[in-house]
Amino acid sequence: MLRVDSVEKAYKKGGLFSVKRQNVLKNVSFECDSGECLGIIGESGSGKSTLGRLIMGIEKPDRGHVFFNERNVVDRKVRLGHISAVFQDYKSSINPFFTVEEAIMEPMKIQKNSKQAMREKSKNLLNQVGLPASYRNKYPHELSGGEVQRVCIARAISTEPTCILLDEAISSLDVSVQTQVLDLLKELKRMYNMSYIFITHDIQAAAYICDRVIIFKEGQIEEIIKIEHLKDVKSAYARRLLHSIITI
Examine residue 5 and state whether it is found in any structural domain, yes or no.
no
The dihedral built from the CA positions of residue 128, 132, 136 and 138, taken in this order, carries a sign that is negative
Domain assignment present for 143: yes
Q: Is 54 helix (H, G, I), strand (E, B) or coil?
A: helix
Please check whether residue 219 is in contact with residue 43, taking contact to mean a CB–CB distance below 8 angstroms.
Answer: no
Q: Over its length of 248 residues, how does the chain's per-residue pLDDT go in tens digits?
A: 899 999 999 998 766 666 678 899 999 999 999 999 999 998 888 899 999 999 999 999 999 999 999 999 999 999 988 999 999 887 778 899 999 999 999 999 887 889 999 999 999 999 999 999 999 999 999 999 899 999 999 999 999 999 999 999 988 888 888 999 999 999 999 999 999 999 998 888 999 999 999 999 999 999 999 999 988 888 888 888 777 555 44
Buried b (16+ CB within 10 A) or exposed e, 180-213: bbbebbeebbeeeebbbbbbbbbbebbbbbbbbb
Within a domain: 36: no
Residue 146 located in a structural domain: yes
Establish if 52 belongs to a structural domain.
no
C-alpha dihedral (8, 14, 15, 21), degrees to nearest 10: -30
Q: What is the pTM of this model?
A: 0.90
Q: Is residue 140 part of a domain?
A: yes
Our count of domains for the chain comes to: 1
Tell me whether residue 105 is in a domain.
yes
The number of beta carbons lying within 10 Å of the beta carbon of residue 86 is 24
What whole-number distance in Å separates Cα of residue 45 and Cα of residue 149? Answer: 24
Does some domain include residue 174? no
122: containing domain: 85-160
